[in-house]
Amino acid sequence: MITPPDPGTVCESPYSLCEPPDYVNVSPVADPRLEGRAVHRIAYDEAAIATRVQELGAEITKAYPDGDLLVLGLLKGSFIFLSDLVRQITRPLHVDFVVASSYGNDTVSSGTVRLIYDPETELAGKHILLVEDIVDSGRTLHRLMEVLGTRRPKSLGICALLHKHIATELHHPTRFVGFDAPNEFLVGYGLDHAESFRHLPYIASLK
Ligand code: IMP
Ligand code: MG
């Protein structure tokens, strides 16, 4: 059970989990990396992330007993998750990246997804695991899955660190999910707001 802080008190630990209601006068988490921005709460701390990533690595290792595995990180948001995840997958694999445009400086989707994809990457006959930071509307992943599906992979799966479960535009299953995320704007561990906060070692809900 999580106890909300009294209004006016400081969150003692930068990793303490505070419930999200709109507190007034709650001091922001004391972390210079936050550029003075207040956060609602630390949604997932370093230990929780590490434990879950280790479990995901084991799940993925078990799910692909044979064949070539290509782990495709969707940049930029997946870069930290991907680097931790592949070190928890104990079978042979290759790593590559895909770039798609995202929200720019907004916290809501603009409705446009631009894909920038390396056509030299050989996907045919391989198990492709697309690694994403967070599934929100699902638009980005849906578009990517359509494109990658035309490259004749042996299988095509999605691994998302976070899933808000509000996606209406993703018509492919997300095979591996780290956390069922709250419908809040989250930053850290690769996720940004206007390119800031990617380097936070925890995932926080931005005020
Ligand atoms: P979708 O296409 O709406 O699912 O959005 C996917 C992309 O939007 C993600 O890969 C992120 O880059 C970005 N995004 C969505 N929700 C968040 C969030 O809560 N924090 C940071 N980025 C987000
Ligand atoms: Mg982004």
pLDDT exceeds 50 at position 183: yes
Cα separations (Å) of 49 from 88, 107, 144, 175, 189? 13, 23, 26, 18, 9
Task: State the pLDDT at residue 13.
Answer: 33
- Alpha helices for the chain (secondary structure H): 46-63, 79-86, 139-149
Residues involved in catalysis: 136
Burial class (CB in 10 A: 0-12, 13-18, 19+), 139: buried
- 34 Cα to the center of ligand 1, angstroms: 19
Residue with the bigger pLDDT between 143 and 17: it is 143
Alpha-carbon span 71 to 130, nearest angstrom: 6
Which residues sit with their C-beta closer than 6 Å to ligand 1? 77, 102-103, 109, 132-140, 185-187, 191
What is the average pLDDT value for the chain, to the nearest integer?
81
On whether the pTM is more than 0.95, the answer is no
- 135 Cα to the center of ligand 1, angstroms: 6
Segment 133-144 mean pLDDT:
87
- Helices 79-86 and 46-63: angle between axes, nearest 10 degrees: 60
3-state secondary structure at position 31: coil
Which residue is associated with the tokens 């505070």? 18
Q: How far apart are the first and last CA of the chain?
A: 22
> Which atom from ligand 1 is nearest to the alpha carbon of 184?
19
The residue type of 146 is: E
Which protein residue has the closest C-alpha to ligand 1 atom 11? 134
pLDDT band for 119, please (50, 70, 90 cuts): low
101-114 confidence digits (pLDDT tens): 654 555 555 455 56
